[in-house]
């Protein structure tokens, strides 16, 4: 399928399953009522919709599912939007969750990839250092790692290591929460991001273990080989398998809809696990930042495009 057609049909499915599942009749005004109802019946079984690209350059719709779909299910979905069954690829990811959990030790200076977290959460990953136009330096990670899913306040302490790894507000404050992009629990979200001001310039470093210094940013592309260093799984290698992906993510405070994310598949056994949230996704051959890891399932990892994250705070990676 050519890219414009793939985007058109992907957006149709995304509107049905992710972004506006309650507005099917209006959104699919050209479809028969029977077909509209059919798509609504699949909504609870679909966790994401994205674009994939095959080796010959053709595009296809990548449908992420909570549970398995059989051949007849795929046939019904494809007929409802007017595409061929082989234009849809099914990936059974299971439910998609935010990543938060155990690991590691105190490090000073703390490097990207280290255990970090708001003092009231378990732990996530220190993504990278960023700088604003005034030269102020901040730690970048996720909202759910450093801002406790909107429940934090500017000035709250950020621990390294995170509390589940033994960090305490008495001894291990590495930074103070500066800002975060609030989650919209009823609408669409682009990023899961927060920044924090280091306690001192000597408390942090910008060199990512096993990866090195970041050399700019780039947009995610299907087939791009990427690497990340996170607090749970360490150094892992993956490949971007879909872009412009819209997903439903389960957080502690509820399910949140995200649009225009990208999906990574492991080139090893596992690319990420709980606790890796906040890791910087880096293009392997250039050391350019691609995205900020924030969610995943047993078989897939999802990240915000890094350009959207940096624009949200008007900062650059250093």
**What pLDDT score was predicted for residue 122?**
94
Percent of the chain past pLDDT 90, that is, above it, reads 71
Domain boundary among 92, 111, 126: 92
Contact 247, 47 (CB under 8 A): yes
**What pLDDT score was predicted for residue 138?**
98
246 shares a domain with 114: yes
278 shares a domain with 129: yes
Instruction: Give the CA distances from residue 178 to residues 83, 126, 156, 203, in Å, rounded to whole numbers and listed in that order.
Output: 47, 15, 8, 16
Q: What is the mean pLDDT of the chain?
A: 90
**pTM for the structure as a whole:** 0.82
Cβ atoms < 10 Å from Cβ of 51: 23
Contact 174, 204 (CB under 8 A): yes
**Between 15 and 102, whose confidence is greater?**
15
Q: Rounded to whole angstroms, how far apart are CA atoms 298 and 292?
A: 18
Domain boundary among 41, 60, 92: 92
Q: What is the number of domains present in the chain?
A: 2
143 shares a domain with 72: no
**Between 20 and 125, whose confidence is greater?**
125
103 shares a domain with 87: no
Kindly report, residue by residue over 173-216, the tens digit of the pLDDT: 999 999 999 999 999 999 999 999 999 999 999 999 888 899 99
Flag whether pLDDT at 35 surpasses 90: no
**What pLDDT score was predicted for residue 99?**
67
Give the residue numbers spanning the domain of 288. 96-318
109 shares a domain with 26: no
Instruction: Give the CA distances from residue 25 to residues 15, 38, 81, 160, 172, in Å, rounded to whole numbers and listed in that order.
Output: 11, 11, 13, 49, 53
Domain boundary among 68, 92, 116: 92
Confidence class of residue 286 from pLDDT cuts 50, 70 and 90? Answer: very high
76 shares a domain with 210: no
156 shares a domain with 253: yes
Cβ atoms < 10 Å from Cβ of 52: 23
124 shares a domain with 79: no
64 shares a domain with 131: no
Kindly report, residue by residue over 156-183, the tens digit of the pLDDT: 999 999 999 999 999 999 999 999 999 9
107 shares a domain with 88: no
Confidence class of residue 23 from pLDDT cuts 50, 70 and 90? Answer: very low
CATH label of the domain that carries residue 28: 3.30.300
177 shares a domain with 213: yes
CATH label of the domain that carries residue 218: 2.40.10.10
Flag whether pLDDT at 25 surpasses 60: no
What is residue 217's DSSP assignment? B
213 shares a domain with 78: no
């Amino acid at each position: 399928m050519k890219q414009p057609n793939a985007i058109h049909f992907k957006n149709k499915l995304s509107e049905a399953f992710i972004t506006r599942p309650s507005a099917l009749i209006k959104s699919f005004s050209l479809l028969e009522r029977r077909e509209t109802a059919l798509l609504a019946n699949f909504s609870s079984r679909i966790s994401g919709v994205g674009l994939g690209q095959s080796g010959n350059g053709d595009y296809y719709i990548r449908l992420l599912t909570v549970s398995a779909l059989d051949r007849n299910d795929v046939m019904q979905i494809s007929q409802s939007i007017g595409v061929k069954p082989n234009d849809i690829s099914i990936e059974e990811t299971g439910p998609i969750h935010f990543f938060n959990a155990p690991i590691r030790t105190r490090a000073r200076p703390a490097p990207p990839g280290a255990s970090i977290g708001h003092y009231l959460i378990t732990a996530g990953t220190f993504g990278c250092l960023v700088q604003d136009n005034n030269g102020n330096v901040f730690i970048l990670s996720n909202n759910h790692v450093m801002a406790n899913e909107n429940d934090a306040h500017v000035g709250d302490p950020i621990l390294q290591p995170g509390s589940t790894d033994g960090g305490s507000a008495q001894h291990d404050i590495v930074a103070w929460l500066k800002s975060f992009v609030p989650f919209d629990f009823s609408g669409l979200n682009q990023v899961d991001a927060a920044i924090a001001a280091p306690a001192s310039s000597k408390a942090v470093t910008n060199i990512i273990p096993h990866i090195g210094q970041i050399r700019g940013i780039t947009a995610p592309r299907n087939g791009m080989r990427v690497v990340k260093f996170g607090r749970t799984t360490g150094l892992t290698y993956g490949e971007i398998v879909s872009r412009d992906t819209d997903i439903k993510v389960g957080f502690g405070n509820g399910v949140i809809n995200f649009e225009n994310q990208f999906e990574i598949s492991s080139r090893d056994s596992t690319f990420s696990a709980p606790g890796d949230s906040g890791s910087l996704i880096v293009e392997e051959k250039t050391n350019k930042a691609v995205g900020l890891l924030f969610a995943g399932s047993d078989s897939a990892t999802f990240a915000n495009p890094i350009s959207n994250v940096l624009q949200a705070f008007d900062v650059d990676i250093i």
